Structures are given as structure tokens and as C-alpha cells.
Amino acid sequence: MSSKVRLSPCTSGISWALFVILAVSHLSRGAENCPVSTERLVQNQYPGCVCLQEFVGGLRSPVAMLQPDDGTGRFFIVEQIGVVRVADKYGRLRREPLLDLTRRVLTSDAAGDERGLLGMALHPRYKDNGYLYVYYTTEQGGTRRTVVSRLNVSDDENLKEQADPRYEKVLLEIEQPGNRNNGGQLLFGLDGFLYIFVGDGGGAGDTAGDRSSLLGKVLRIDVDGAGPERPYGIPTDNPFVSEVLWPDARREVFAFGLRNPWRCSLDPGVDEGAGTGRIFCGDVGESGYEEISIISKGRNHGWPDREGYTCQNTGNCAGDDVLPIDVYGRTEGRRAAVIGGVMYRGCGVPDVRGLYLYADYLGLMNKELFYLDEQPNGSWMNGTVCVLNNRECVTNLQPSVKTEDHFILGFGQDFSGEVYLLTTTSPVVSQRTGRIFKLVDPRSTACPVCGLSLAFLLSLAALVITMSSAV
């Protein structure tokens, strides 16, 4: 996948001119669907590895990162403590938050507390209506609940762009039996419906396989519809919508049998449509196995009868259960909990293009990410992507901190398909030790023309040749 061309630009003008001309020729070839930065001019000394470039710091346990489709290039960053921050395309944080729900969000300073503001999604027509949707834990009258609600970002030019909690519209509340396994992912599918990923709550009931409960499920609702019973609609093709066939099932249920789906993502697919719209999820295990699954409509993903590929309750495991596409054990080195990732369809790191990237919570301590590579027969081959340290990455892109000290909380992705790691050095959600790193190619940090446009390179070549002739 990588180029073997070796060029060493010198200080002489003609050498630089030749270098740039060859760069133009080289960069004009390569991947059909990527810009010119896909191919590199230097050999990759670290094939299958990535460098981390710090994008933004000073965050409180960042668990989600979204880019609105409004042409600004900025990002909305969800902090678990209950705040949504705004960063511009250069990683500069706006002082005022987009949303502050800290008075409503239930969390604590206990290390590893899983509660808080856990997910956010933007309406497919966010640019027009300003609707955003959040998933958070709260406590009302001594009862712990998960809340899914809608807020509206003001478009008043006289006001700072913010979502006012006073005008929150609660769509769904789910009573939680415990303090963990909250899930929390929200995303809109290509069908325009909102998918809600709910953990089993960590209680003793193990209701993930019970279709009359919303715990341990993937839910699908129509936020643009509403009925007499609910402030949202039920898609007519939801799998358990028939009261005749499924009298006890909740109509919102899309898939079931999940323990703690932590970070799920939509596959943007490739130009010919392969893979488009698939939903990948990391599902955190209880004690033995961590899973990556592709969510299947109407199907049982196994929990609590299965963990990984293993049937824990003999006789209860159905032959049509959906098995994970990958499983790993916590005994395999320093492993703690799976962090669901993203399908990399970007161009900046060609060695991992077309791979599903994910991680373990302790992945950076092991200097590794994981990948899954889909095979022609539909199976998935797993492997690791090494994360290089400061000494192995070029100075101008070195992180200012040791990345090995960071816990991985999630992944982010921009509209160009490039990938970001959401991390923190403290398991306490109120600590401002969270950082977001961008995955970059080791070669791009060393190549002075990588990522530059063809027009710029041609102009640079002409300028250098002119200057050389004048000497």
C-alpha cells in the first residue's frame, strides 16, 4: 500500500524543483477516491503504525466528538461531566459551551464512574433546524434514569450559539437498576431514524434478552413523528412492531442481547456502496470477553446467555444468535474494556484505509490499537496497529505529553474520514486531563509536500525554477 520512492530534497533550488516536480507526478497517481495526500514520497519505516497529533486538550473525560455539516470545520465535544464544548478546526476551544447540563446530569468523582452525559447526535437537518439529541443519566425523586432528549441550538444572531436547557424536550426515560452498564451512544442511520444504544444497567435482572424491557437494547425511533402515546414515532418496519406477533415486546426495540454497548458507529461505506450503513458496536463483557459486533435488525446478540462465543447458559443459547465479528479476552495482556471504533474510510493514513479501527481502554499503555479487516468470504481478520512514541514521530507533530499515560474513551471522525482518539489520564470525570489526538501517518510527518494540493505544488515548482535560473 505504501510507496517505495525515496527522495532527499537538498538545499539547492534545482534539487527542490526536481523534488516538487516528481512529487506532482507521484501524487497525481494513486487511490482514485482520495486526494493527493494518499501516496507518500518516503518509505514507511513503520508499516502498520500511526502517530498521534494532539488536537485539543484541557477536557473533562471527552466521550464523543461530532462535526456539524455546516461548512465551518468545527467540532462539538461531549464531556462526560455534562458539557458540550466547541472547538474550531484548529483545535481552539470556544470559551462558552454549546450546552451545559451539569445541573441535571448524574455522575460523581468516584474513579471510573460510568454515568454522565454519554452521547449526542445531530439531526440530519441540523443546519436548518438546530436540533441536537443527548443521552444522559440523572436522578429524579431517588430514582436513577437514563434520559434521551432534544435541544435546540439558537440561531439568533444577537445571542451566542448555545442550546438552552430550559427548552429541553424529553423524548424517552428509562429507569436504571444500577450505576453502570449505561451504554449511551446515539446516532442517526441512513434511514433518518435515531438509534439509541442502551446498556443492561448492571442490575441482577439481566433483562437484555427480554424484549419487553428497553435495557440491553438497540432502539430505533422516528424523531420527526409523534403519536398520542409518545413524543416520537415508531418506524413501521421495526422488527417487533406487530402487537399480534409480539404482544409483550416494546415497539422501539431494533436489536437485543447487549450488555454495555460502548461506542458504536455507522459505516460510511465505499463509493460502490459496499458496507454502507452498517452499524458496528463494541460490547463490554462481564469478566471474560470483549466483543465487536455488527448490529442485526431483530436479532439476539446473545447476552446474558452468551459472552463472546461462549454459551454460559446451556440450553438458552439459540442457534440463530448473532455472534460477534471479533472477541478478545482480558487475559491477553493488559486489557480492561473494549472501546468501539470506526471504519476508516479516510485518506491520510493509507495503511489502515478500509479497516475497522477500535481499541481497549488501556490500549495506549500497550501502544496499540486494534483493527478488523473484512475478507472476501465475509469473515474478519484481526490485528494490531502500533502507536509510535514521541521519539519515533517527527518533532513538529509530537504530542506534548506521553500518550502512554492515557486511557482511551472513544473515537471521533471528521467529514473527510480522518480519525481521532478521545482520551484522559484520569478516571475522574471532573479532572481536565482529557485530550483528543488525531491519527496521522508516520510518513506524512516527514514529507514536506504531503497534503499539499497539485496546484500549489505546480506553483511552487515554477517559483523555485525561476529563482534557480536567476542565481
Letter string b/e over residues 337-364, b meaning 16 or more CB atoms within 10 A of that residue's CB: bbbbbbbbbbbbbbbbbebbbbbbbbbb
Dihedral Cα 363, 369, 119, 261, nearest 10 deg: -90
**Cell triple for 6:** 525515496
* Mean of pLDDT values over 98-122: 96
- Give the pLDDT band (50/70/90) at residue 438: very high
| Helix, strand, or coil (residue 127) | helix
pLDDT in tens, 384-420: 999 998 777 764 555 556 888 999 999 999 999 999 9
Q: Are strands 62-66 and 419-424 parallel, antiparallel or unpaired?
A: unpaired
pLDDT in tens, 259-275: 999 999 999 887 667 88
Determine contact, residues 43/37, Cβ cutoff 8 Å: no
* Mean of pLDDT values over 436-457: 62
**Cell triple for 226:** 409523534
| Helix, strand, or coil (residue 284) | coil
What HEC string does 207-268 produce? HHHCCCCCCCEEEEEECCCCCCCCCCECCCCCCCCCCCCCCCCCCCEEEECCCCEEEEEECC
Closest Cα partner for 293 from 309, 272, 269?
A: 309
CATH superfamily of 43-446: TolB, C-terminal domain (2.120.10.30)
- Give the pLDDT band (50/70/90) at residue 125: very high
For residue 287, pLDDT over 50 is answered with yes
**In the chain, domain spans:** 1-42+448-471, 43-446
| Helix, strand, or coil (residue 157) | coil
- Give the pLDDT band (50/70/90) at residue 33: low
Q: How many residues does the chain have?
A: 471
Determine contact, residues 215/207, Cβ cutoff 8 Å: yes
Query: Residue type at 1?
Result: M
Cis-peptide, bond into residue 261, ω within 30° of zero:
no
d(CA 150, CA 393): 42
Phi then psi dihedrals of residue 456, to 5 deg: -65, -40
- Give the pLDDT band (50/70/90) at residue 462: low
Name the burial class of residue 162, with classes exposed (0-12), middle (13-18) and buried (19+) by CB atoms within 10 angstroms of its CB. Answer: middle
The reported pLDDT for the residue numbered 396 is 53
- Give the pLDDT band (50/70/90) at residue 466: low
Instruction: Give the range among 52-61, 271-280, 293-302, 417-426 with minimum mean pLDDT.
Output: 271-280
Compare 391 and 29 and report the one with higher pLDDT: 391
- What is the distance, to the nearest Å, from the Cα of residue 416 to the centroid of all Cα atoms in its chain? 14
**Cell triple for 420:** 481521532
d(CA 51, CA 450): 15
**Cell triple for 467:** 529563482
Please report, rounded to a whole number, the percentage of residues in the chain having pLDDT higher than 70.
80
The reported pLDDT for the residue numbered 403 is 87
Q: Are strands 83-87 and 75-79 parallel, antiparallel or unpaired?
A: antiparallel
Q: In which order are the strands placed within the sheet that holds 338-343?
A: 338-343, 356-360, 368-374, 380-387, 49-59, 434-440, 419-424, 407-413
pTM equals: 0.86
